[in-house]
Amino acid sequence: MEEAIIRPASVDDVPVILELIRALGAYERAQPGDITADEATLRGALFGPHPAAEVLLACRGQIAVGFAVFFHNFSTWRGKRGLYLEDLFVRPEARGRGYGKQLFLAVAKIARERDCARMDWAVLDWNQPAIDFYHRLGAEPLEEWTKFRLTRAALERL
């Protein structure tokens, strides 16, 4: 395992965060136009007065090879906040070196330090390498749950 520098992203990292988002989109087979985030949107959402999420970067030297995006949710049953891992991504050319595991462990450490009741995330059902990775870390799928989503258009119709 190669040791990465795992660090919180800063506003100066917005261009590389957007680059990693686009690389993740390509890996997840996004269609043209699916990714509408831009630097201004990310700057406001991540580093504005009310940040919506946090980002950790995995760096090899000065090069960001991966990132984790996460935010807090809330467990009514536990009466505590949780941590939701929105994205965990390592560039394909940097995989197999332990960067993903280091990012995941850094996010899990934050969840423990902040006394979160749990940590949740979703993985695409066709992404077997990710599913295997999470199984190796001791995670269990929540097969009894079905995810739902309202898109912006659906919200407007409501």
- Residue 33 contacts residue 19 (beta carbons within 8 Å): no
Which helix (H) or strand (E) element contains residue 5? strand 5-8
- Given 27, 84, 99, 134, the catalytic residue: 134
Q: Cα–Cα distance between 119 and 71 in angstroms, integer?
A: 10
Which helix (H) or strand (E) element contains residue 113? helix 99-113
Quick check: helix, strand or coil at residue 54? strand
Active site residue 134: yes
Q: Which residues does the annotation mark as catalytic?
A: 134
